[in-house]
Amino acid sequence: MTKEVTVGSVTIGANNPLVLIAGPCVVENRDMIFQTAERVKSLCEKYRIPLIFKSSYKKANRTSMDGFVGIGIDDALKILDDVKTQFGFPILTDVHTSESLDCSREKQKSCEYKKRSIPCPG
């Protein structure tokens, strides 16, 4: 039996159609996110592919300590929320720690979250 998973209004698995999960790896700025969302939306409409927009508010797994990690959780989650409001597709983002999950739940009511490995206390 194949399990179904629903993210917003999009269902993945079983006999559901192929779904594209796409977006920039990290929110760098509002313009870049909105330009990417517009382009991906256009392509998905053209080819009739359901879309889940994905971008991280923080890219914590960079290979260089000097690499860009993000614009901050508050600003990034606000931009992702605005994308969901304007374009209407579900949003997926990464969560790296239990603390950021709590913060992002408070600040971002409309995102779906992909759980990363979070160590249990104790």
The alpha carbon dihedral of 75, 94, 70, 34 has a sign of negative
Tokens 């260089």 correspond to what residue? 64
Residue range 97-105: average pLDDT? 59
Which one is predicted more confidently, 59 or 118?
Answer: 59
pLDDT tens per residue, range 24-48: 989 999 999 999 999 999 999 999 9
Residue 6 has pLDDT above 70, yes or no: yes
pLDDT tens per residue, range 38-97: 999 999 999 999 999 999 888 776 667 777 778 988 899 889 989 999 999 898 887 766
Whether the Cβ atoms of residue 3 and residue 13 lie closer than 8 Å to each other = yes
In a domain, 122, yes or no: no
In a domain, 51, yes or no: yes
- CATH number of 60's domain: 3.20.20.70
In a domain, 121, yes or no: no
